[in-house]
Structure 1
């Protein structure tokens, strides 16, 4: 499906969603964020979709930031609301019950890096540049960047990238734990789709429980996280897919998971 702001296509059980503003380096304005929110609602509700790949159109950018032209016209009150719109989108993606992989094909700056960080996994081209340059505009990240970078890469890296404002290359991003993999740019789409397709073969209910357990555990004390994990383990153990998975293992065959 194609519309003016997003491109979406299905590849088996993997849905690819591309921000489609290449002339603006895929900058995020309010309309694009609303379109993305709808696209992820649709992917979450579609039983045929078991994984999502998020990327940007064109050869230059994943998403190069928020749309500064739109932001510059905002009042302080409107700017706070714009920040909350972005945060709601990032939270929606972060809480997706299906794995979301960011395919970082170029610049991921400001709101673009914030968008990538809310995805569950990130695969970057070796030519990608990632950063939070808001301080150079007299601002700070407003879509959750300070909080997610702190959790992904630690305090030192969060302070370095936000206070300094300079982007890092893909190799440095990998060293900081900001991305999971770096691959040659020419192989990025094939590698990402292969990875996402493998994720899409997993047991959907187990995938959802894993995402929930890691999300909850990252925001609570370890004892609470362990209790939540045990509860999820018991619930998933009762599913048909768990029975199928264990039976397939004992019978030395591939499981056929049915999301039940």
Structure 2
């Protein structure tokens, strides 16, 4: 067992907390971090005891300051491309995991770190957090999916301004533009993030999964196709036990107890 693993893993009551563990380097992403993160995601996909995941960073300074610049400065162009493609595969895994994934941004969230957070369903930021894509400031491109996901989250104009200037935003501005969905004091960040996750887990697992899938897939469809997909999923979920449980509880004015099928 590694004495200092690149990603820490803790599981409690169905919620797995994944912590980037390079605080001395502001949790910068290197190959070890990405490979371990990929392995944990693969295991979580088939682990029925894990219903949700929270991504965060060790310490109070940074979620992740982005890709390890020292490695990038020494790597060959092909190695840099392979590194980015590994990161892209991971962000795709996060989006398509079939489970709730939330980012708890405990400090600086830059570059590749922000791109990992952008692939999560929801982001909660500590009040002192800063978020940004500074890649152009070192002559680089947001190559882990930032040029794709940031415009979808905050709109093309805001994304262009952030990406082309390399400008960071504080937690308040990130909330205002929709980049994060909540702000918490640093001392309460994990507590409030877990409360948000538990609120989602109180809902029907089937409905939550299909709602996310309809949203995620629908963004790449026409308006009509996306709406039809939502209608199809509405019909599909109506065949579930959870649908019967939820509708009956609504009529009887009781609290539903979902079973996930």
Secondary structure, aligned partner of 1:58 = coil
1:190 is matched with: 191
How far the C-alpha of 1:250 sits from its partner, in A, is 2.4
2:53 is matched with: 52
1:122-141 Cα deviation digits (max 9, x unpaired): 00011000000011111111
The normalised TM-score by structure 1 is 0.96
Once residues 46 and 90 of structure 1 are traced to their aligned partners in structure 2, the CA distance between those partners, rounded to angstroms, is: 19
Once residues 253 and 46 of structure 2 are traced to their aligned partners in structure 1, the CA distance between those partners, rounded to angstroms, is: 33
Contact persistence 2:136–2:165 (CA under 8 A): yes
Once residues 73 and 257 of structure 1 are traced to their aligned partners in structure 2, the CA distance between those partners, rounded to angstroms, is: 52
The normalised TM-score by structure 2 is 0.95
Higher relative contact order (CA 8 A, sep 6+): 1
Contact persistence 2:129–2:171 (CA under 8 A): yes
1:130 is matched with: 131
Once residues 75 and 153 of structure 2 are traced to their aligned partners in structure 1, the CA distance between those partners, rounded to angstroms, is: 30
Secondary structure, aligned partner of 1:28 = coil
How far the C-alpha of 1:252 sits from its partner, in A, is 2.4
Once residues 245 and 238 of structure 2 are traced to their aligned partners in structure 1, the CA distance between those partners, rounded to angstroms, is: 11
Instruction: Note if 1:208 corresponds to 2:179.
Output: no
Once residues 201 and 195 of structure 2 are traced to their aligned partners in structure 1, the CA distance between those partners, rounded to angstroms, is: 10
1:152 is matched with: 153
2:255 is matched with: 254
1:70-107 Cα deviation digits (max 9, x unpaired): 21222112221111111111111011211211000000
Once residues 154 and 215 of structure 1 are traced to their aligned partners in structure 2, the CA distance between those partners, rounded to angstroms, is: 16
Contact persistence 2:9–2:16 (CA under 8 A): yes
1:90 is matched with: 91
Bigger mean CA offset, 166-175 vs 112-121:
166-175
Contact persistence 1:29–1:70 (CA under 8 A): yes
How far the C-alpha of 1:215 sits from its partner, in A, is 0.6
Gaps of 5+ in 1: none
Once residues 18 and 99 of structure 1 are traced to their aligned partners in structure 2, the CA distance between those partners, rounded to angstroms, is: 16
Once residues 38 and 226 of structure 2 are traced to their aligned partners in structure 1, the CA distance between those partners, rounded to angstroms, is: 28
Contact persistence 1:65–1:109 (CA under 8 A): yes
Contact persistence 1:97–1:207 (CA under 8 A): no
1:36-90 Cα deviation digits (max 9, x unpaired): 1121222221222222111011111101110112212221122211111111111
Once residues 137 and 107 of structure 1 are traced to their aligned partners in structure 2, the CA distance between those partners, rounded to angstroms, is: 17
2:230 is matched with: 229
1:169-188 alignment, distance < 5 Å: 169-188=170-189
Instruction: Note if 1:26 corresponds to 2:17.
Output: no
How far the C-alpha of 1:248 sits from its partner, in A, is 2.1
Secondary structure, aligned partner of 2:74 = coil
2:163 is matched with: 162
Once residues 31 and 206 of structure 2 are traced to their aligned partners in structure 1, the CA distance between those partners, rounded to angstroms, is: 33
Contact persistence 1:174–1:181 (CA under 8 A): yes
1:11-52 Cα deviation digits (max 9, x unpaired): 212211111111111111112111111212222212222221
How far the C-alpha of 1:249 sits from its partner, in A, is 2.1
Once residues 196 and 38 of structure 1 are traced to their aligned partners in structure 2, the CA distance between those partners, rounded to angstroms, is: 22
Gaps of 5+ in 2: none
Contact persistence 2:153–2:178 (CA under 8 A): yes
Once residues 130 and 41 of structure 1 are traced to their aligned partners in structure 2, the CA distance between those partners, rounded to angstroms, is: 27
